Amino acid sequence: MKPILLIGSAECWEKDLEEAKEIISEFDVMSVGDSCLYYKEIKFFVTYHPVDIKGYRLQRIKFGGNLDYKVISHKLKTGVDIVENHVAPSGSSALLGAAAAIRMGYKKVILCGCPMIGKVGGGYQPYDSFQKGWIARYNEIKSYVRSMSGFTANLLKRPDIWWLSE
């Protein structure tokens, strides 16, 4: 199975993506949250907020993105294809997506634009508040998940060719 890139909405997402492409050329993509600006081919969209599903789909139509992706959330609601149970404390939609990717059989999950530092888009709360979720699930995800930047990269390490080849 190809690795999967989870692309979030932090300002560093494009830089992270370009750096990830330096070590990996084939991958699946999961977009994280409705403010994700990646409109190329995705396999999955993950959100803690099912109310955002329709708006995200409209964004993808506007920018010419594919619409044949699966939606992952923590509750079975209209438009949700895959339910990944919420585990407290929350690590944001990025951790929900990472857990779902692992459960679906992905052995290599790379976070781009998911540093868990700074402010959440729209100013809901500081991303730092989600660090507790990543710490709580560290042992469960540490073999599968790497990050390109921020707190998650410090916690889980950055991906490299040796990890990818394991």
| Residues 53 and 71: beta-carbon distance below 8 Å | yes
- How confident is the model over 84-104, as pLDDT tens digits? 999 999 999 999 999 999 999
- What's residue 129's pLDDT? 83
Does residue 3 contact residue 27 with C-beta atoms inside 8 Å? yes
pLDDT at 40 > cutoff 90: yes
How many domains does the chain fold into? 1
Q: Above 70 in pLDDT, residue 120?
A: no
Structure confidence at residue 119 (pLDDT): 63
Contact 123, 86 (CB under 8 A): no
Query: Would you say the C-alpha torsion 22, 27, 33, 35 has a positive or negative sign?
Result: positive
**Is residue 159 a contact partner of residue 108, using CB atoms and an 8 Å limit?**
yes
Q: Which domain holds residue 79?
A: 4-165
4, 110 in Cβ contact below 8 A? yes
Strand 70-73 vs strand 4-7: parallel, antiparallel, or unpaired?
unpaired
Using 50, 70 and 90 to split pLDDT, how confident is the model at 76?
very high
The pLDDT score that the predictor gives to residue 148 is 98
For residue 123, what pLDDT is reported? 53
Asked whether the beta carbons of 135 and 101 are under 8 A apart, the reply is no
User: 3-state SS string over 118-131?
Assistant: CECHHHCCEHHHHH
